Amino acid sequence: MELSDWLLTADERGNAATRLDRRRPDGAAWSHGNDVRPLVHGRTYFAELLTAIRSQGPGDLLMFTDWRGDPDERLDGEGTEIGAVLAAAAERGVIVKGLIWRSHLDGLQFSQTENRHLGEEIAAAGGECLLDMRVRPGGSHHQKLVVLRHPERPEADVAYVGGIDLCHGRNDDASHHGDPQAIPFAEAYGERPPWHDVQLAVRGPAVGDLEAGFRERWEDPSPLSRSPLTRMRELFHHEDTEADRLPAQLPDPEPCGTHTVQVLRTYPNRLFRGYPFAPDGERSIARGYLRAVGRARSLIYLEDQYLWSPSVVESFARALAAHPGLHLVAVIPTVPEQDGRLTLPMNLVGRVAALDRLREAGGDRVAVYGLENHAGTPVYVHAKACVIDDVWAAVGSDNINLRSWSHDSELGCVVLDGDADPRTPRDPAGLGDGARVFARELRLRLAREHLDEAEPDPGAPDPLCDPRHAFEAFAAAASALDAWHAGGRQGPRPPGRLRAYRPPEMSSLARTVSMPFYRLLVDPDGRPLRLRLRKSF
């Protein structure tokens, strides 16, 4: 397998100002020898994160970024509230540094107060947590990252990156009964919205890459906000607005696995004075997807919170049109998280247009599903994961939309496994790359949950390895469950959680009225004008 067929070179990242690629002597834009594990669902991630933080001692370093942080969110039962856990780490001498998006006002259903309170709790214990509003107007810092370094125990170094925030609503498991600490949500999801999500645990040299990305943001000398009103709030609340110096970065952890990892980001083209580490922005997430999707031949498997933006799915549509054997499976939320009279159409119009384009290109080779738990309650899909041809796998904070590909800050990892998967088909794409263990196992693990299938016995064949069989298995399971609901839920419930997604009808008038608000508020474009005109990233 030629790595540059799937990954971006340093030049192709399109951001010469970042230290991410030039920090290695060979200038490579990826690292070898990593061990990456998918942590499916918040309960799995939170339990492991709790153990890892509690094992840190004096002089160890904990760095995190987040979109939302609720200080009272319990990681694993009473007494494990994230604010208290981070504060306790700071009190015993761990160097705790955090960057949380400052957030819009709580009156708009955001988390300004919660984020500030988490920072205050950490600061009171001797840590430091800054409220970062260095974004485009209407934008956010959406990265979800925790890096744990251990000067005396480098073998314990680990980074967690993906879609899971340290906040209410995320602590769910495969049973999908929801987080007891729920958040306000669309009525269809009930009082405890079931939540599906994915995070990665990364060990090896890529931990150094993820730490370097954190340091770029931490060391940005720009004010945390340009807003005079926000600056007044900072003074009123006596907020820390100056980042203290971090200790020097340790050498990267030693190689410990077979995974090549490329760290991808989004930073917008920020007006007037950009980021010093990305003065023209960075769109390596978009470019990474464009590279991989262009190589897809067999199956693109997506789990995504939004799947919006006709301009973003155009690359998927072109691949479907060019390769008649290519199929696409997408697992998305059945209902947007906001169901108000004004917000629902804005949240639907981009998805409707995007799915229309995909189906125009791929016809019945495009299948889109929602999830429900065994009680029939929809499961909110917050995961941001993609597997292409059982070779390329990506997990991060980014969604398939223009906002994530150009406007908000985002962070993700692409994983290419050096170990080929020996199960048939050994090369689903037929390009000579061969199926890879990590990508295939991630797809199979997610598929088995959605189908209610157990892992086969060791050595036994697994029909789901065949992308065409997996595509048909999803269709059959959704069809059976849809028919059971349509028939009044008579008899035993069929196995699985998949429901065929059918977007609601939107009149031409509704689309016309909603589209300007969708483009301005829901899915804005953060690219420089020259790239917008060229329709490129």
Q: Are 412 and 209 in contact (CB under 8 A)?
A: no
How far, in Å, CA of 361 to CA of 381, rounded? 25
CA distance 178 to 182: 8
Element (H, E) at 63: strand 61-66
pTM above threshold 0.85: yes
3-class DSSP assignment, residue 529: helix
Side chain identity, residue 437: V
Q: pLDDT category, 453, cuts 50, 70, 90?
A: very high
Residue 109: per-residue pLDDT = 47
241 pLDDT above the threshold of 90:
no
The answer to whether residue 415 scores a pLDDT higher than 50 is yes
Segment 253-277, tens digit of pLDDT: 999 999 999 999 999 998 887 899 9
pLDDT of residue 308: 87
Instruction: Tell me the pLDDT of the chain averaged across its residues.
Output: 94
**What is the rounded CA–CA span in Å between residue 35 and residue 303?**
22
64 class by beta-carbon count within 10 Å (0-12 exposed, 13-18 middle, 19+ buried): buried
User: Cα dist. 431→68, 295, 297, 334, 390 in Å?
Assistant: 42, 9, 8, 35, 12
Average pLDDT over residues 353-376: 97
Which pLDDT score is estimated for 117?
84
Name all domains of the chain by residue range, CATH numbers in brackets: 35-257 (3.30.870.10), 282-529 (3.30.870.10)
* Phi (first) and psi of residue 403, to 5 degrees: -60, -50
- Number of helical H runs and strand E runs in the chain: 14, 18
**How does pLDDT run across 328-345, given as a tens digit for each residue?**
999 999 998 887 676 788
Q: Is the pLDDT of residue 106 over 70?
A: no
Cβ atoms within 10 Å of 177's Cβ, excluding its own: 16
Cα separation, 419 vs 444, in Å, equals 16
Q: Answer whether residue 110 shows pLDDT above 60.
A: no
List for the chain the helix, strand, coil content (%; round to 5): 35, 20, 45
